[in-house]
Chain A
Amino acid sequence: MSAIIEIKDLTKEFKVLNRREGLKGSIKDLFSRNYKTVRAVDNISMTIQQGEIVGYLGPNGAGKSTTIKMMTGVLEPTSGEIRTNGIVPYANRARNAQEIGVVFGQRSQLWWALPLVESFKILKDIYQIPDEKYNSMLELYGSLVDLEPLLHKPVRQMSLGQRTLSDILAAFLHDPKIVFLDEPTIGLDVSMKSKIRKLIQALNKEKNTTVILTTHDMGDVDALCRRIVIIDKGKMLYDNDIEHLKSFFGSYRTLKIRPDGELSAQAELIGKELPNFSVTADDEWIAILVDEDKSKVIDVLGQLQKSHKIKDMQLEEISTEEVIKKIYEEGVS
C-alpha cells in the first residue's frame, strides 16, 4: 500500500460580504467592502492509501464539498498542502483530472441527449483509453450490472437510479486511481441503493480504486467504509476505523420501557432513581441510555422492576448513525 492522497494542514478561507438586512441594508451593501473571513476548512491533515474506501462525513455545511473541490483541483487551498498521485491538484487540474473520477449525486456529468454507449465512446477519446482496456472494462461492467438496457438509452430518459448507476460506471471507465462519490445514493430506493453499494464495492476490489465517499446515509457507510473521517465546521473530529468508533461508543445501549402511569411523570421519577444515565420520554417509550461500563442493562431493568410496573420493553444497540450524531453534537472526548 502506498499513499495516494496526502493532505497536510489544509485550510480554505472564503471572504463573505457582511450583508445587512432590508432594502436599505442592501443598498448600503452595494458600496460596502465590509468582508468577513469564513474558514470552510480548518487545518485538516490526513493520508489516504491506495485502495481504501473512506467515508467522509459531516453535517451540511461542514466543509466536505470544499475539501473535495480542493482534492479535485477545482479550488485552490488558502494554505496547507494537498498531493494526489504525487501532484498538486490545483496547479495541474487537467493532469489530475486524468487520474480521478467524480460523481456528484444528482448532477449527471454525461451528455444528456446521448445514449450511454456514445457517452462512453466520447470519454474513451477524452481520457485516451486504449481499445483493449476499454473493452475489458465494458466486459467487467457487463458482469457486475445489467448493462445492455442502459447502453442504448439516452441519459435524459433514464430513471434517477439508472442515471446514478451510469454516472458511476462513467467515473470508473478510465480506471482512475481515485473516485470521489458525493452522495451517490441520495433519493434512491432501497434496492437501487444496495445495487449501487455492491457495484462500488466490486469496482473498488477489482481495480483497487481509492474511493472517497461523502454521504448522509449511514447504510452507505456501514456497507462500504472501513475508515471514516468526520468533520464539522471545517475541523476534523474523527479519523479512524469504523470499528474503533463503535467500540468507543459501543458500551452504550438504549433501554426502552413502558411503565404504568403517565410517561413524562414516570420519566422524571426514573431520572431521579438513575442519576447517572440520560432518561427521555416520547409518546410511547421512556428511553434510558445505559453505559454498560457503569452497570449492566439487566441490572438496571431489575432495579426498575422493583419500583415500577413495566408493561413492555425494548433494547436497542447503538447504530453508526447515533454514534455520528453524538459526535456531531458533542465531539469525541
Chain B
Amino acid sequence: MKKKGLGFYLRIYFKILAQDIKSKMSYRADFIISTIGMIFTNIAGFVSFWIMFRSFPSINGWGYYEMLFLYGFSLVAITPVQCLFDNNWSLRIAVYTGDFIKYCFRPINIFFYYQSEVFDIKGLGQLAFGIGTLIYSWNKIGLGFTPLILLKMIVFLITASLVMIAMQNAAAATCFWIMNSFYVLDLVTRFKDYAKYPVTIFSPVFRFIFTFLMPIAFIAYYPSLVILRPDEVPLLSWLSPLIGVVFFWLSYKFWMRGALKYNGTGS
C-alpha cells in the first residue's frame, strides 16, 4: 500500500468534485434558481450596506470605500467555507440518525472523507461578487498594485478563510456531544455578519469577544489592516496568519476527537 499523501487526497477530491458538479448540473432548474437566489442575497446585502453609508459617511474614521473593501474581503474569505465545508451543516443530522458511521469504514481521513462529499457551487457566485467589490474599492482607494501587496493579500485572505473554517468546524463538531447543535452553528454564522465591520466600532467588551472568544475580527478586520493601514498595523494583524493556522488545527482536532468517539446508533 502506497503512502497516502497530499497528492492522493487531492486526486480523490477532484474526482468526487468533478462527479458532484456534473450531477448537480443535471438538475438545471435547481441550479439556476439557487444561483439566482445567491445573486439576490448578495445584492440585498450590498444595498443595505449602501443605504447605511448614505446616512453615515464614515464609521469611526473608516470611509465608504474602505468599508466596501472590508465587505468584499469578508465575502471572498467566506467562499472556501461555503464551497468546501458546507457539509458541516448536515453533520448534526448524520450523527443523529447514525449515518455518520459510514465515514468510519474507509481507509482515509474521516474529516476529509466527510467534507469531500459536498461542494457547494453557489459559493462561486459569491466569490465573483466579492472579487468585483474588492477590485472596485481597491481602485477607488488608490492602493496601487505591487507583487508584495498581492502576496500580502493572498496570505491574509487565506488566513481569514482559515479562521472562518475553524469557527464553523468547531461549531459543527459540538453535535458529537450535544443534541441541539444547530443553534451553535447558527449563532456562529450570525456573528460572522459582524465580520465586515472594523472591530474598533464595537465596545471594548465586544471587541474582546470578537478577537479572542469568537474570533470574527480575524476574518476581515485584522488581515485587511495590513493592506489598508500599512502604517498602523497592530501586532495581532501580523500574528493573524499564525492564529488562523492554529485555530484551524485546533478545530480539526476537536472535530476528529468527536468523530473518533462516535458510537453510532443501534441498527
Residues of A that sit less than 8 Å from B by CB: 14, 60-61, 65, 69, 72-75, 93-95, 97-98, 100, 102, 104-105, 107, 109, 111, 113-114, 118, 121-122, 125-128, 154, 182-183
Partner of B99 from A107, A111, A113, A128 at Cβ < 8 Å: A107
Partner of B107 from A14, A97, A111, A183 at Cβ < 8 Å: A97
B2–A100 touching, CB < 8 Å: no
Q: How far is the CA of A272 from the CA of B247 in the complex (A)?
A: 79
B106–A154 touching, CB < 8 Å: no
Known A-B contacts A104-B101, A109-B102, A154-B23; the reply to A125 vs B12 at CB < 8 A is yes
Binary CB contact string for chain B from 110 to 142 against chain A (1 if under 8 A, 0 otherwise): 000000010000000000000000000000000
Binary CB contact string for chain B from 1 to 28 against chain A (1 if under 8 A, 0 otherwise): 1100000100110011001100110000
Enumerate chain B residues within 8 angstroms of A72, measured Cβ to Cβ: 104-105
B106–A126 touching, CB < 8 Å: yes
Enumerate chain B residues within 8 angstroms of A126, measured Cβ to Cβ: 12, 106-108
A-B contact pairs, 29 of them (CB 8 A): A14-B263, A65-B264, A73-B104, A74-B105, A93-B104, A94-B107, A94-B108, A102-B102, A102-B105, A104-B101, A104-B102, A107-B99, A107-B102, A107-B267, A109-B102, A111-B16, A111-B19, A111-B20, A113-B20, A113-B23, A114-B20, A122-B15, A125-B8, A125-B11, A125-B12, A125-B15, A126-B12, A128-B2, A154-B23
With both chains docked as a complex, state the minimum distance between the C-beta of A11 and any C-beta of chain B, in angstroms.
15
Query: Is residue B262 within 8 Å, beta carbon to beta carbon, of the partner chain?
Result: yes
B106–A114 touching, CB < 8 Å: no
Query: Is residue B61 within 8 Å, beta carbon to beta carbon, of the partner chain?
Result: no
Q: How far is the CA of A146 from the CA of B104 in the complex (A)?
A: 30
Known A-B contacts A74-B264, A107-B102; the reply to A98 vs B23 at CB < 8 A is no
Enumerate chain B residues within 8 angstroms of A118, measured Cβ to Cβ: 19
Q: How far is the CA of A125 from the CA of B101 in the complex (A)?
A: 21
B263–A75 touching, CB < 8 Å: yes
A121–B15 touching, CB < 8 Å: yes
B19–A98 touching, CB < 8 Å: no
With both chains docked as a complex, state the minimum distance between the C-beta of B26 and any C-beta of chain A, in angstroms.
9
Instruction: Name which residue of chain A comes closest to B103, CB basis.
Output: A109
Q: How far is the CA of A6 from the CA of B145 in the complex (A)?
A: 66
Q: Give the bracket for the number of chain B residues in contact with chain A.
A: 20 to 34
B107–A114 touching, CB < 8 Å: no
Q: How far is the CA of A75 from the CA of B183 in the complex (A)?
A: 28
Instruction: Name which residue of chain B comes closest to A156, CB basis.
Output: B23
In the A-B complex, the 6 residue pairs with the closest CB atoms: A97-B107, A98-B107, A113-B23, A109-B102, A102-B105, A94-B107
Enumerate chain A residues within 8 angstroms of B99, measured Cβ to Cβ: 107
Instruction: Name which residue of chain B comes closest to A118, CB basis.
Output: B19
With both chains docked as a complex, state the minimum distance between the C-beta of B16 and any C-beta of chain A, in angstroms.
6
Q: Which of A60, A128, A154, A183 has the most CB of B within 10 A?
A: A128
Enumerate chain B residues within 8 angstroms of A125, measured Cβ to Cβ: 8, 11-12, 15
Q: How far is the CA of A114 from the CA of B264 in the complex (A)?
A: 25
With both chains docked as a complex, state the minimum distance between the C-beta of B2 and any C-beta of chain A, in angstroms.
6
B266–A109 touching, CB < 8 Å: no
Q: How far is the CA of A97 from the CA of B107 in the complex (A)?
A: 5
Enumerate chain B residues within 8 angstroms of A100, measured Cβ to Cβ: 105
Q: How far is the CA of A125 from the CA of B2 in the complex (A)?
A: 11
B15–A69 touching, CB < 8 Å: no
With both chains docked as a complex, state the minimum distance between the C-beta of B146 and any C-beta of chain A, in angstroms.
42
Q: How far is the CA of A114 from the CA of B23 in the complex (A)?
A: 7
Q: How far is the CA of A126 from the CA of B102 in the complex (A)?
A: 14
Q: How far is the CA of A102 from the CA of B105 in the complex (A)?
A: 7
Enumerate chain B residues within 8 angstroms of A111, measured Cβ to Cβ: 16, 19-20, 117
A69–B16 touching, CB < 8 Å: no
Instruction: Name which residue of chain A comes closest to B117, CB basis.
Output: A111
With both chains docked as a complex, state the minimum distance between the C-beta of B170 and any C-beta of chain A, in angstroms.
23
Enumerate chain A residues within 8 angstroms of B266, measured Cβ to Cβ: 60-61, 65
Known A-B contacts A74-B101, A104-B102; the reply to A127 vs B15 at CB < 8 A is no
B250-265 contacts to A (CB < 8 Å): 262-264
Enumerate chain B residues within 8 angstroms of A73, measured Cβ to Cβ: 104
Q: How far is the CA of A198 from the CA of B193 in the complex (A)?
A: 57
Q: How far is the CA of A125 from the CA of B1 in the complex (A)?
A: 12
Q: Which of B8, B104, B105 has the most CB of A within 10 A?
A: B105
Enumerate chain B residues within 8 angstroms of A95, measured Cβ to Cβ: 107
Q: How far is the CA of A291 from the CA of B176 in the complex (A)?
A: 54
With both chains docked as a complex, state the minimum distance between the C-beta of A159 and any C-beta of chain B, in angstroms.
19
A122–B19 touching, CB < 8 Å: yes
A182–B267 touching, CB < 8 Å: yes
Instruction: Name which residue of chain B comes closest to A104, CB basis.
Output: B267
Enumerate chain B residues within 8 angstroms of A93, measured Cβ to Cβ: 104
Instruction: Name which residue of chain A comes closest to B113, CB basis.
Output: A126
A97–B102 touching, CB < 8 Å: no
Q: How far is the CA of A55 from the CA of B161 in the complex (A)?
A: 50
Q: How far is the CA of A113 from the CA of B27 in the complex (A)?
A: 11
B105–A128 touching, CB < 8 Å: no
Q: How far is the CA of A282 from the CA of B222 in the complex (A)?
A: 80
With both chains docked as a complex, state the minimum distance between the C-beta of B215 and any C-beta of chain A, in angstroms.
30
B23–A109 touching, CB < 8 Å: no
Enumerate chain A residues within 8 angstroms of B8, measured Cβ to Cβ: 125
A69–B263 touching, CB < 8 Å: yes
Enumerate chain B residues within 8 angstroms of A154, measured Cβ to Cβ: 23
Q: How far is the CA of A109 from the CA of B15 in the complex (A)?
A: 17
Partner of A69 from B24, B102, B264 at Cβ < 8 Å: B264
